Structure 1
C-alpha cells in the first residue's frame, strides 16, 4: 500500500525499527490518532497566539512569527521526510511552527470574512471523521485501482496548480481556478473530494 505521504512510505516505516521501536511493535490507527491529537494541540497553542495578533489588527507584530513558522515548518517537514526516525523530535517542532503560520493566516482571513475559520475547521474535522468511518466500516476500500486513481488525480491537480503558478509569472492568470463561478466551485469540490480520498490511502498504509 503506497501513500502520497512520504513519512508513511515502506522505507520510512522500516527506518524506525531498532532505534525508537522494536520490530514487534505495530502502528495502529488508534495510536496514530492519539499522536495526531497531541500534535494538533501543539499546533493550536501557537496558532492561537498569532491568530490573536492578526485578528486584532496587529499584523506587523505577527509577521516575524509567521515567517519563522513558514521556514521552520518547511525545514522540519523536509527533515522528517528524509529522516523519519527523527519524527519524535521534528514532528512536535513542525506542529509548533505550522501553528505560527496557520494562526497568522487564519486571523487575517477571519478579520476579512467573519466566521470563515470555525467553518473551515469544522469541515476539516468532519471530513476526516467521515473518511475514517468509511474506511473502518469498509464502505471505501483502498484497492489497487483506487490507489492508482486517487494518485493520478492528485498528480493532475498538482500539475494544474504548478502550471497556473508558472503562467502567472508571465501575466497569464487562470482565473477560473479562483473565481466563485460554477466552474470554479466545481473544480474546488473535486479537489476537496480527492484530498479526502487520500486519507483512505493513509489509513490503509497505517
Structure 2
C-alpha cells in the first residue's frame, strides 16, 4: 500500500504543491503543524507510523518530515526497519533500491535535514534579534512580564482558537491547527468557561 505524507504549518497554506504527483489509491496523511514538532508526536505522523499495510511513502521534500536532524533520522530508521521505501519527490530519490538501503539517499537526506535544522535556528535567531532591536527602540509590543490580559483581550486575540474549540476540536488539535501553544488553548478555554458562568 502506498501513502503520501503532507505537512503544512498553518490551515491557510495551500496543499496543491504537495499533491501534484499524487497517485490514485494512495493513502493521504496530512498534518497541520510546525516542522519543529517531532514526527512521532504529530497526529497523522503517529497514524502513518502505526499503519502496518504501508510499504511506500512519498513526501514532497525532506523538511515535510521535520526540521530537526535527529528526528528526521529516527523517522527514516523506522521506515528502514519496517521495509518502507521513502521517496523524496523534489529530489527524485528513494531510500531503498532493490530492497537495500540507498547510500546516496542517506547522504543527501542527512545534508538536507541539517540545512532544514539550520534554517529554523537562523529564523529563530533573527526573530530574537528583531525583538531585541524593537526593545532597544522602545517599540516592542510584547506583553509586560507579570501583567495580565483582560478576558476581552484574550478572546479578541484568539478568534480562531475559539472557533476550533466550539467545533469540538481537542486542545492539542486546536493548538496545531491554530499554530499556538497548548497553554494558550488552555487559557482561552478557561476564559470561555468563566464567561459562560
TM range (shorter): under 0.3
Structure ranking higher in helix proportion: 1
Q: TM-score, normalised by structure 1?
A: 0.24
Larger Rg: 2
> Comparing both structures, which one devotes a greater share of its residues to strand?
2
